[in-house]
Amino acid sequence: MINEQTANTTGRAGNHWTSAPMRGQDATLERLRVDRQLEETMVHGPDPLHLAKVFALDEKTAMRYADSARALLEQAAEQMPESRQ
């Protein structure tokens, strides 16, 4: 996330600038981060190496996210009507 002070630089916005506008919202920064990682996994497949590179994650964390995404994909496939499979 960026703000008017960091938009012209490569640095990130500080916690003060990002947490204040998010206060009281349904979507927290943590939820947005997790949602973005899950979306990336759904688009590119549950590849822990890809996740680790894109989000600078530890390998164990990337493997955990990939396993969770794999389980979600399998669950979605099981719930899909047979006419769509």
- Domain residues for 50? 28-84
Has residue 18 been placed in a domain? Answer: no
71-80 pLDDT per residue, tens: 888 887 888 7
Has residue 52 been placed in a domain? Answer: yes
Lowest mean per-residue pLDDT among 53-57, 65-69, 76-80: 76-80
Has residue 34 been placed in a domain? Answer: yes
Has residue 55 been placed in a domain? Answer: yes
Has residue 59 been placed in a domain? Answer: yes
The pLDDT, as a whole number, for residue 49 is 92
Inter-CA distances, 47 with 29, 33, 37, 62, 71, Å: 24, 17, 11, 8, 13
Average pLDDT across the chain, whole number: 78
Has residue 9 been placed in a domain? Answer: no
Number of domains into which the chain is organized: 1
Question: CA neighbours within 13 Å on the CB side: how many for 23?
Answer: 6
Has residue 71 been placed in a domain? Answer: yes
Has residue 20 been placed in a domain? Answer: no
